[in-house]
Amino acid sequence: MKYNKKIKLIILNFVFFISLAAIAQPGSEVSHKNNSQLSQDLSGFKWKMKMMLPGEGVKAGLHELPPEDIETLVWNAAQVPGDVYTDLWKIGAIDDPYFGRNSVKAQWVMHYEWWYSLQFNVTQDLTDQLVRLDFEGVDYACDIWLNGHFLGSHEGAFSGFSFDINHAIRSSKKYLASSNILMIRLAPPPQVNAKVAGRKTPWFGDYWRDLIPFGIYRPIKMVYTGKTRIKDVYLRPKIEANNNAKVTLEVEVENTEAEAKDITFTSTIQGKNFKSDIITTVFTEKIAPGKHTIKKDISIKDAKLWWPWDIGKPNLYISKLSISENKINHDFKETTFGIREVKMEWNPGFTKDEVSFPRTTLINGKKIFIRSACWGGPPDIFTGRTSKEKYKKLIQLAKEANMNNIRIFGWHPSEIPLFYELCNEAGITVWNDVIPLGTGNLSHDEDFIATTIAEGVAVIKERRNNPSLIMMEGGEEMFLRSGDPKFTRDFLERLGKTLQENIDLPYVPDSPLTCEASQEAGYKPKEAVHALAYFYNMGHAPMEDWINKLDFPIVPELAITSVPNVESLRKFIPENEIWPPGPSWGHHWADLDRLRAQNFDTFGSEKTGSLQEFVDATQDAQGIIFQLSIEHFRRNKPKTSGIALCHFITYWPDMKWGIVDNYQQKKRSFNYVKTAYQPVLINLQFEKRRWSNNEAFNGKIWIVNDFYKEYKDCIASYTITNDNAVVLNKGSFKIDKIDENSSKKWLDLNVDVLKKVKNNFHVNLELKDKNSNLISKNKYMLLIGNHTAAAKEFKAMGNEIRQRNATYKYSNYNQFFDKLTGENGEVYESETDTIIARGFKTKN
C-alpha cells in the first residue's frame, strides 16, 4: 500500500514538472510573447496539521522532521488556503461553529498553536535561478521552516511576505533527494485587538461572538526567477487631451548580484476585454545592486477608459512586462489595469464650516451618485468555507441590486485579489477602508504606529492597479471609541498622507466623524453620518419622521436588521429552537425586541403569529426602511452624493444586517433595494405612512436619473389601490425631458380616496418612454391609522427596550429568555420546555 502511494506521488510530481517545462525558464532565451513567470502554487488538500501546547512544538522538534520521512501522514488533513476552525470541523474535531451555539464550544482552539506541514518534490535544475517562497496572507503570526532551516517569522494578516530559499531547497532528479518539507507554526491568535489593530480583522462587534479566526488564508507559492527580478509593478494612468492617455510604468526591480547589470525591459499593453493594437515599449537600464524603482511613460492613443457599469463600459487593459539580460530571461509580470481618474468636489448646499472634505466623487470628470452597501465580508469569517463561486455570485447579486459601489468598511479586511478582479470586470467601484481599525485606542508607541502604517501601505500597493478602487478611508468609527481624539486624528492623517504617496486616490480619515470625539478633534458638524439611530434608538421616532430629518453630504452606513429566510434558519438554528425563538437566535444576534418594534412601525403589528409571518415581516420592514431612506437621499442629490447600506452581506449566518444571507439567499428586502437603486427611479415623497379615512392622501412624484442620458417625451402614471387590488384612483402626465444626472419633482398628488379603505392602501408608479417601453416602476404600501397615536405606542416600546437593556446590557440575549435561569437564578436542565421568547407565541 505504501509502495502504491509512493508510485502515485512520483507520477504526480513528474506530470507537474512536465507542465512546468512549458513555462518560460529563468536563465533561458525566450521571446517576450511566450514569456510567463515560473511558479509553483502550494495550495491544495495535501497539507497536514497538528495541535500543540503553546511553545511545545519547537521543544518537541516538529520543525526538524526529516523531509524524506512520512510521520506527517498521521497528522490531521488540512487545506491551504483555509483556516484552523474549518480544518478541524472537516475532520470532526469540532462541531460546525456556525450552527446553534457551537462557536462557544470551540473557544479552546484559539489557545493552542497549530503546525501545518507540506511535503513536496523539486526536480528541476536551479542553476542561475533564485527560488522565492511567497506567502500572500497568514492570519496572524507564524514561524516558517524549510527542511529544518528557519526562514523567519511574520506578524500581520494583510501584508504578504517572502523568503529566498536557495540555501534550504532540495532539488534532484532522484525521488528521495528531491523531497522537501515546509513547516509552519501558527501562533495562538492575539486576544486584545488594540494591540494588533490594523493588522488583524476585529473579531468583535454586534455580528459575531468571541471566537477569533486564524489560519493560512491565502496561497503560498514558490517563484523561480533569474538573479534580477521584478518586485512590484504599478501602472499609473493619466488622462490627456483628445482621448489619449499616459500610463507611467513604475517597476520595482531588484538586482541580487554584486555588480550592476544592463537589464532590458520589454513591455506590451493591449485591451483585455476589447480589441486593440499592441503597444510595445523596449528600453534598457543599468540596474545597480539592490532594489530600485524604474519609471517609463507610455502613451496610449484613443484610450478606452474604465467606467462604472451605469456610466460606461469597464474597459480593462493587460500589461505584460519581461526583464532580460543579453536576451536571457530573468523575470516576467502580468498585470490587469484600467485607465480612469478619480477626483472629489465639494457638495453644494454645505459650507466649509459644516464639512471638512469634498464628498462628491468624479470618475473621468463625471459626477456619480454612489449607490452602495457595506460588504460585511469576507463571505465567511472562516475563510476555508468560502469559494470563488461564492465571490462570483455575490458580485453578480450586487450588480443585480443596481449597486455601482461596494464599501469595505473598517470592521473587515481589504479583500483578496479575486474580489477586485470581479469588481473590475463588473464595473462596480470600491470604497475601501484600507486596514481594519476597530478600536480608537491605539498604542502611542512609534514602532507600533509605523508597523501599522506599513501594513496599510502593503495593502494598498497590492491593490492599486485595480480601477474599481476609487476611494480610501482610514478608520471606521475610531472616534466613537477614542480616548485621545487629537492623537487619533494625527494618526489617521499620517496614514492617509503615506497612502497617497503610493496611489492617486482620494482619502478621508474616518467615518462617521459626527460624534462628540470627532468634534473635539476638530471635524465639522455635518460630516459623513452613520444613520444607525433608528435601530439603536428604536422607538424614538417612526421611520418617516427619522428619515426626513437626515441631511448630510454622504451616508457611509444606514443600518436596519432582519431575519434570514426560514430555509436558511433551519441550517443554523436547532429545530427545538426554531419557534418560538430559542437562545441560538440571540447567539446569532437576533434582537427580538427591536425586530418586533420595527415590524409594528412598518405594519401596525408585531407579526409574531408564526415563524413564516415573523421572518417575512422583518425582511419587508428592513426593505421598506431602506427604500424610503434611499429615496430620500437620492432626491437630495447633488447635495447628497451617496449612500451605503449596512450591510449587503454578513460573514456568518446571523440575524442582523445583510440583505443577502450567509447562504447567498436573497432576503425579501433585496428587491426593495433593487427597486430603490434603479439608476432611473420614479418615486413618491410623502410626510407619513399612516393616514386617516377622513383626509386626502397627498404626496409628490419625483424622478431621479443617475444615467448620463436624457429621456424625452415620457409618460408617468400612478395607480392607488386597496388591499383587494381595487383601483381607487389613477392618473398619468407627460414629461417633455428628463435631464441627465438629475433629480426633480414632477407632480403634487392630492386625492381624496381613503374613506372606504380598512387597513392598507398601495400606490404604484410607472415611467415609460414614448414607445411605451418601461423605464422605471415603484410601489408603496401605506396604512390607515393614526400617526400620532402609533408614534406614541412605538415610543413606549422603545422605552421598554431601553429599560431592559439597562438591566441586561445590549447583546445579552438572556433578556429574551427569562425562564432559562428562572426567577431565583436556578438553571433548568431542559431548555426545550422552559425557554419561551418574550412576546412570542408558544408552540401548540
Edge-first strand listing for the sheet containing 261-271: 279-287, 261-271, 317-325, 328-337
Amino acid 86: pLDDT: 98
Q: How many CB atoms lie within 10 A of CB 343?
A: 15
Place of cell 470551540: 106
Amino acid 825: pLDDT: 45
pLDDT at 830 over 60: no
Q: Which domain holds residue 780?
A: 682-787
Residue 237's contacts (CB-CB under 8 Å, 6 or more residues apart) are 245, 246, 247, 337, 338, 339, 340, 341
Distance of alpha carbon 268 from alpha carbon 282, whole angstroms: 9
pLDDT at 733 over 50: yes
Amino acid 621: pLDDT: 98
Grid coordinates belonging to 574: 436547532
* DSSP per-residue string spanning 80-96: ES--HHHHHHHHTSS--
pLDDT at 833 over 60: no
Edge-first strand listing for the sheet containing 366-368: 342-345, 360-363, 366-368
Q: Is 27 exposed, middle or buried (0-12, 13-18, 19+ CB in 10 A)?
A: buried
| pLDDT 10s digits, 624-658 | 999 999 999 999 999 999 999 999 999 999 999 99
Q: Are 691 and 758 in contact (CB under 8 A)?
A: no
Distance of alpha carbon 305 from alpha carbon 315, whole angstroms: 6
Distance of alpha carbon 398 from alpha carbon 643, whole angstroms: 14
Mean pLDDT of 715-738: 96
pLDDT at 743 over 60: yes
Whether residues 205 and 242 share a domain: the answer is no
pLDDT at 703 over 90: yes
Whether residues 204 and 250 share a domain: the answer is no
Residue 241's contacts (CB-CB under 8 Å, 6 or more residues apart) are none
| pLDDT 10s digits, 491-510 | 999 999 999 999 999 999 99
Residue 24 pLDDT class (50, 70, 90 cuts)? low
Amino acid 316: pLDDT: 98
Edge-first strand listing for the sheet containing 742-751: 680-685, 697-705, 742-751
Q: Cis peptide leading into 444, omega within 30 of 0?
A: no
Residue 819 pLDDT class (50, 70, 90 cuts)? low
- Angle at which helix 388-400 crosses helix 417-426, to 10 degrees, equals 30
| pLDDT 10s digits, 89-101 | 999 999 999 999 9
Amino acid 15: pLDDT: 40
Q: Which of 96-100, 548-552, 828-832 is predicted with the least confidence, judged by mean pLDDT?
A: 828-832
Going from the C-alpha of 374 to that of each of 170, 326, 464, 533, 658, the distances in angstroms are 47, 51, 20, 17, 9
Find, among 781, 793, 783, the residue nearest to 627 by Cα. 781
Amino acid 836: pLDDT: 60
Q: Is 581 exposed, middle or buried (0-12, 13-18, 19+ CB in 10 A)?
A: buried
Residue 843 pLDDT class (50, 70, 90 cuts)? very low
CATH of the domain at 48: 2.60.120.260
Provide the phi-psi class of 101: left if phi over 0, else alpha when psi is between -120 and 50, else beta: alpha
Q: Which of 768, 787, 806 is the last residue before a domain boundary? A: 787
pLDDT at 171 over 50: yes
Distance of alpha carbon 589 from alpha carbon 535, whole angstroms: 13
Whether residue 620 lies inside any domain: the answer is: no
Distance of alpha carbon 559 from alpha carbon 438, whole angstroms: 18
| pLDDT 10s digits, 441-456 | 899 999 999 999 999 9
Q: Which of 283-287, 307-311, 513-517, 686-690 is predicted with the least confidence, judged by mean pLDDT?
A: 513-517
Whether residues 534 and 489 share a domain: the answer is yes
Place of cell 512590484: 232
Mean pLDDT of 591-597: 95
Whether residues 436 and 497 share a domain: the answer is yes
Find, among 206, 204, 205, the residue nearest to 190 by Cα. 204
Whether residue 607 lies inside any domain: the answer is: no
Distance of alpha carbon 735 from alpha carbon 742, whole angstroms: 14
What's the longest Cα–Cα distance across the chain?
93
Distance of alpha carbon 112 from alpha carbon 104, whole angstroms: 16
Grid coordinates belonging to 73: 501522514
| Full-model pTM | 0.94
Mean pLDDT of 689-696: 96
Whether residue 137 lies inside any domain: the answer is: yes
Grid coordinates belonging to 23: 513555462
Residue 46's contacts (CB-CB under 8 Å, 6 or more residues apart) are 118, 119, 120
Amino acid 835: pLDDT: 53
Mean pLDDT of 251-273: 97
pLDDT above 70 covers a percentage of the chain that reads 94
Whether residues 350 and 256 share a domain: the answer is no
Helix (H) or strand (E) holding 162: strand 161-164
Distance of alpha carbon 302 from alpha carbon 773, whole angstroms: 35
Whether residues 432 and 461 share a domain: the answer is yes
Residue 528's contacts (CB-CB under 8 Å, 6 or more residues apart) are 359, 508, 511, 512, 513, 514, 552, 553, 554, 555, 556
Whether residue 589 lies inside any domain: the answer is: no
Residue 8 pLDDT class (50, 70, 90 cuts)? very low
| Amino acid letter for position 739 | D
Residue 694's contacts (CB-CB under 8 Å, 6 or more residues apart) are 754, 755
Distance of alpha carbon 456 from alpha carbon 190, whole angstroms: 19
Residue 808 pLDDT class (50, 70, 90 cuts)? confident
> How many residues can be counted in the chain?
844
| pLDDT 10s digits, 306-316 | 999 999 999 99
Q: Please say whether the dihedral angle defined by the alpha carbons of residues 813, 815, 821 and 825, taken in this order, is positive or negative.
A: positive
Whether residue 830 lies inside any domain: the answer is: no
pLDDT at 162 over 60: yes
CATH of the domain at 735: 2.60.40.10
Q: Is 788 exposed, middle or buried (0-12, 13-18, 19+ CB in 10 A)?
A: exposed
Q: Which of 337, 369, 392 is the last residue before a domain boundary? A: 337
Going from the C-alpha of 318 to that of each of 243, 268, 331, 547, the distances in angstroms are 19, 8, 17, 45
Whether residues 361 and 427 share a domain: the answer is yes
Q: Which of 275, 305, 337 is the last residue before a domain boundary? A: 337
Q: Which of 345-354, 474-483, 835-844 is predicted with the least confidence, judged by mean pLDDT?
A: 835-844
Amino acid 65: pLDDT: 97
Whether residues 59 and 97 share a domain: the answer is yes
Residue 413 is given by DSSP the state: P
Place of cell 464599501: 407
Q: Are 314 and 306 in contact (CB under 8 A)?
A: yes
Whether residues 190 and 243 share a domain: the answer is no
Distance of alpha carbon 206 from alpha carbon 218, whole angstroms: 26
3-class SS at 679? coil
Whether residues 303 and 362 share a domain: the answer is no
Residue 1 pLDDT class (50, 70, 90 cuts)? very low
Distance of alpha carbon 378 from alpha carbon 473, whole angstroms: 18
Mean pLDDT of 97-117: 97
Whether residues 485 and 529 share a domain: the answer is yes
Whether residue 671 lies inside any domain: the answer is: no
Amino acid 27: pLDDT: 72
Going from the C-alpha of 27 to that of each of 133, 257, 412, 684, the distances in angstroms are 19, 14, 42, 68
Whether residue 670 lies inside any domain: the answer is: no
Distance of alpha carbon 206 from alpha carbon 810, whole angstroms: 9
Find, among 261, 332, 335, 270, the residue nearest to 300 by Cα. 270
Helices and strands in the chain: count of H runs, count of E runs: 18, 36
Provide the phi-psi class of 811: left if phi over 0, else alpha when psi is between -120 and 50, else beta: left
pLDDT at 319 over 80: yes
**What does the CA dihedral 703, 709, 710, 714 come to, rounded to 10 degrees?**
-60
pLDDT above 90 covers a percentage of the chain that reads 86
pLDDT at 834 over 90: no
pLDDT at 142 over 50: yes
- The chain-wide mean pLDDT, for the chain, equals 93
In the chain, the number of structural domains is: 4
pLDDT at 831 over 60: no
Amino acid 839: pLDDT: 74
Whether residue 461 lies inside any domain: the answer is: yes
Mean pLDDT of 533-549: 95
Whether residues 219 and 250 share a domain: the answer is no
pLDDT at 822 over 80: no
